[in-house]
Each structure stands twice: as structure tokens, then as C-alpha cells.
Amino acid sequence: MNLNRLDLNLLKSLDVLLAERNVTRAAARLNLSQPAVSSQLKQLRALFDDPLLIPGGARGMLPTPRAQALQEPLRDYLAQLLALVAEQQGFDPLSAQRTWRISASDAMHSVVVPGLLRRLRERAPGCQLSLLQPPLAALPELTSTGEIDLVIASHPSMPEQLKTRELYRENYVCVLRLDHPAAREPLDLDRFCSMFHLLTSPVGGGFYGIVDETLAALGRSRTVLVSVPSFLLVPSLVAASDLIATVPAHMAATWQGRVAILAPPCEVPRFSMEMGWHPRNQADPGLRWLREQIMEVMAQELH
């Protein structure tokens, strides 16, 4: 390899090409034309003396063994280079122009984002948030390629390769319509089990969850009448019916005045909410600033 021919822009394009395995999609991510990326791929093949990507049918191209061996070291090298530059430049939130991409459930977006937006308007007015909800299975790749900057998720859902920090411990509450007869006094287990329930199933269509596991351990069960894919559907459905839903307490707090909130009649296991980021982004001063803002927002929310 002739190092005099090495172009950092080519390496960035190679990183994206290996991630997308498709020239058209890579061109879109790089904001280049398809012929320009095809030309870069030709240069990369000559530089590494390897085809790197070969035809793989309708889904795109397949990496050669050489390309597969290059992918992770290349990402590490580019991330270290960017971190070195960013560390030298520092991060001035008042003058920064940056878009942060945060992956979280709709529940977490509702809990974290309002307070975070207020801070951004005051402290980083030139910065933006891109709120995403990709499939959990895609998060390892998306954080590795830098397409996701930060993940907010429960501990069991957090990709294990990410660095993490606990935001808070979450517990559950029950929500009903404001004038529901059962909302007039504390719930007992018999009444709870006799009611019709609404369950939120993020994967879609599920009718069994942590509440059912808890009840089964007590030798009890409930009837889940409806399953919805999003917590954002819960307050309107509960407010217009006799349904009861058991939801995370911080999510329910955002519905104050719309539904009645009661303690469940049995102890549903608590869980940890965390934020996670790829180790490559540990030293990024902008992302470090964002993580600090989120921790401060949650500290205010908890008091």
C-alpha cells in the first residue's frame, strides 16, 4: 500500500460502504453522487489490492475476507481521529451546530426530552435532537457506525457492548379513568384481577408481561383485553373505557390530570433505566456535555 495515496475521505467512504454494502445507499449517507462513490470504491480496491465488495444479489454487495477484517479496526481508527480533533477543539454549547441522534422508547422520549429541550434552547440554541426508535436488534450496529449517538433503555434491553450510566430506578403504577369506581380507594388484588386490562407490547401483539409473571407467582391471573404497541395510546384508551393499565411511574406522571394514578396491589419488580453510548464516543466533548445535561434533567425530575 502506497501511503502517499492515502486519503482520509476515502477511508470514511470505505467505512460507510462496508456498513451499507450498497453504493446507492452509501452515496446518500455521504451526500455524494453514486458515480463519485463508485469512483472512490475503485480507488479503494487499488489501494488495498482487493475487491473489498463483490456482487451479492438483489440485497447489495458482500464484503471480502479482507474487508471484513478491516471493518472494526477502521471504525476504531476513524473514531479515535475524530475524538482527537474534537478534544482539541472542545465543545462550546452556545456556538455549537450539531444534531444528536437519540434512540429510546416513546415512554422515555416523553420523560426525558421536554426537560432536555428546555436546556438546549437556553444553553445550546444551535443544536438539534433527532429522536429515533429503531428495533432493539439494530442498536449494536447503529451505535457502532455512529448513526445513533445515545441509547436510553431499560437495563435488560441495553446492548452489552455499550458503556452505560444509570438514570434512575423505575417502578410501576396503575392508571384508570378519573371517574372510574375503582379509583376511589386503594386497589386490592381481587378487584385488580377481576378488571379488564390494557397491556403495552413494544414488539406488538403481546398479551403477557411482567405483571402476569408477578401474578402467576402469587397463583393469580388477569384478563388482558387489548394490547397496544405504544405507551402514548394508553391515556386516551384508559380515559374512554373501564380499562386499567400498569405502566412505568415516570411515564404516568406525564399524564397527570388525564387519568387516575394508583399503586398496584402487588409488588411488581422495579427495573433500571440507563443511557448507553459506544466506547468510541467516550471522549467526545459534545456527547459528554449531552450526557451531563440528561443526568441533570433526570435529577430535577426525581425531586
DSSP string of 103-170, one letter each residue: EE-HHHHHHHHHHHHHHHHHH-TT-EEEEE---GGGHHHHHHTTS-SEEEEEGGGS-TTSEEEEEEEE
> How confident is the model at residue 89, as a pLDDT?
65
The three cell numbers locating residue 99: 444534531
CATH of the domain at 158: 3.40.190.10
Q: Is residue 156 domain-shared with residue 193, that is, in the same domain?
A: no
> How confident is the model at residue 106, as a pLDDT?
81
> How confident is the model at residue 38, as a pLDDT?
92
Residue at 94 is within a domain: no
Tens of pLDDT along 61-85?
899 999 999 888 888 888 777 767 6
Q: Is residue 235 domain-shared with residue 276, that is, in the same domain?
A: no
- Domain hosting 199: range is 172-269
Q: Is residue 180 domain-shared with residue 262, that is, in the same domain?
A: yes
Q: Is residue 138 domain-shared with residue 278, that is, in the same domain?
A: yes
Q: Is residue 183 domain-shared with residue 36, that is, in the same domain?
A: no
What's the mean pLDDT in 139-162? 91
Q: Is residue 223 domain-shared with residue 156, that is, in the same domain?
A: no
Q: Is residue 163 domain-shared with residue 22, that is, in the same domain?
A: no
Q: Is residue 14 domain-shared with residue 137, that is, in the same domain?
A: no
Q: Is residue 83 domain-shared with residue 11, that is, in the same domain?
A: yes
What's the mean pLDDT in 215-229? 96
pLDDT exceeds 70 at position 214: yes
Q: Is residue 179 domain-shared with residue 250, that is, in the same domain?
A: yes
Q: How far apart are CA 110 and CA 294, in angstroms?
A: 13
pLDDT exceeds 70 at position 5: no
Residue at 118 is within a domain: yes
Q: Are 139 and 92 in contact, with CB atoms under 8 Å apart?
A: no
Return the sign of the alpha-carbon dihedral for residues 221, 224, 229, 234: negative
Per the structure, the count of domains in the chain is: 3
**What percent of the chain stands above pLDDT 70?**
94
CATH of the domain at 59: 1.10.10.10
**Strand 196-200 with 244-248, pairing:** parallel
Q: Is residue 140 domain-shared with residue 289, that is, in the same domain?
A: yes
Q: Is residue 252 domain-shared with residue 279, that is, in the same domain?
A: no
